[in-house]
Chains A and B, each alone.
Chain A
């Protein structure tokens, strides 16, 4: 059974442990600006929303890459950037309608969530279970997927 990140904003306290864990695990630095998960703060409503790639089926990033540098990890379902192949052209960063592929100017490559090879550091670090890694068909990702399908990019059917 493939697993997915399940995000429950109701449980998020805005502690940013996920951002620190992500940047440390993937980039070797405690630097939220290098994190692949981002917590958005809605001050007026007193609400925090962790946000990252949903590994959507449409995979616009992977489709748009001109050098085949983004591939599907068939074990986790993650769309994974190869640092060796990525030339840093950034087309994926504008093709992803969720804004979850970002350019890292210190490496000249793009970064996105790769589910940490099946052990997401953000979920491990989250003290309130706002981010969990659970069976894919159980998660509240349906809402995000529905959102993804609404994005009018290309066609409604896939091969």
Chain B
């Protein structure tokens, strides 16, 4: 038996380790397509700021980890999957047979249809190589334009500010973090950024990036649809990501927003599984099927998929979307159905001056979603309350009056 895992991000690595642990008798092959040891994209901002070196981004720190675990690591990029033959073809012309296949190919940044984004000095901030390029240009005082103000953009934002660049953020939607924060939260983060000296332009589109071959870092000019132009030494594009599924054409594997998987993480093709950012799996909040491109879902998916692959019965009850972001010291958190649900109720407390905000969304007797700004104590318990569907009882009334007492509600309920 040979289990092949395609993709060496957090999902692929955790899956390979889980497969190995659950069934010591099989061959486990892990295929990664970057010329680095498996690493965490989440750690890249901390590499940009110098908080860690490159090795600090590695998913596993021990030399020879994969050999020691009996995982065969293969560097290469899968070009196609032949499900009938049980074979993946690699771009270098070689192939790898599999008994069961797990696809953990993650996602890639989207390049918006804007002229000039292929110019020198325009980068995504997605891979370690991207980060090296950015470090080479993002010196103190450099003019940097960040296209996008979503979750990934905001993570990079802080790192760029710490590097001392002169930063302008351009977001086409009407607020920062449109998919993680409501208007109140998004506006609060924007105000915080501006207070810290970062220019944030929302509701503005980049129409063109022009490059003129100058000395040093080169010269870029960024045209906006409000008629203004920004000079830049560096343009960073963080305008969203899309699942990597292109190589599955002709394989029979059903793809929508991502690879459609059942509650055992198996795709529409028997023996082919998917996990992480490329998988469209059970959604805890909606009961439907969603791509939740977040670290906790990536590793949950990986473990569940691997256990089912080795023949255990490991049903997955759905991922809860959750995010945490630190924007120059302002910590924001979102969970589940934070936008609210039909027939739901809401409890909100806002302190505009103190940059604090808390919004709880209820359905009947339990919490279904939450947003929080300016709070780091015990935030995880919101996950517990949501995923346990904890019946709040008398605490419902208390939380409707003061949502900040959620931790007490939890502790009281756990006794």
Report which of B46, B58, B304, B415 forms a contact with A89, defined as CB distance below 8 A: B46
Q: Residues 301-324 of chain B: 1 if any A CB is under 8 Å from the residue's CB, otherwise 0?
A: 001101100001111111010111
Given A49-B411, A97-B381, do A91 and B295 touch, yes or no (CB 8 Å)?
Answer: yes
Query: Which residues of chain A come closer than 8 Å to B414, judged between CB atoms?
Result: 144, 147
A88 touching B51 by the CB < 8 A rule? yes
Contact-residue bracket for chain A = 35 or more
Complex interface bits, B263-307 against A, C-beta within 8 A gives 1, otherwise 0: 000000000000000000000100000000001100110011011
Among the 9-residue stretches A16-24, A58-66, A122-130, A131-139, the one with 4 or more Cβ atoms under 8 Å from chain B is A58-66
**Residue of B22, B57, B324 touching A91 (CB-CB under 8 A):** B324
CB pair A40–B387 under 8 Å, yes or no, is no
Contact partner of B299 (CB less than 8 A), chosen from A63, A147, A152, is A63
Q: How far is the CA of A99 from the CA of B372 in the complex (A)?
A: 14
C-alpha spacing A96/B407, complex, angstroms: 13
A105 within 8 A of B: yes
The answer to whether B61 and A68 have CB atoms under 8 Å apart is yes
Quick one: given A89-B42, A147-B414, are A159 and B376 in contact (CB under 8 Å)? no
Residue A98 interfacial (CB < 8 Å): yes
Q: Which residues of A contact B22 (CB under 8 A)?
A: 159
- Please indicate the chain A residues that have their CB under 8 angstroms from the CB of B40 in the complex: 66-67
User: Shortest 3 CB-CB distances between A and B: which pairs?
Assistant: A99-B381, A97-B384, A99-B378
Chain A residues in contact with chain B, CB under 8 A? 9, 33, 38, 40, 42, 49, 51, 60, 63-64, 66-68, 85, 87-103, 105, 108, 144, 147, 150-159
A49-B412, A100-B378 given; 13 more Cβ-contact pairs under 8 Å: A40-B408, A64-B296, A66-B10, A87-B46, A93-B379, A97-B381, A98-B384, A99-B379, A102-B377, A103-B331, A147-B414, A152-B317, A157-B307
What would be 13 A-B contacts, judged by CB atoms less than 8 Å apart? A40-B408, A63-B296, A66-B42, A67-B43, A90-B331, A91-B295, A91-B296, A94-B383, A97-B387, A97-B388, A99-B410, A154-B317, A159-B21
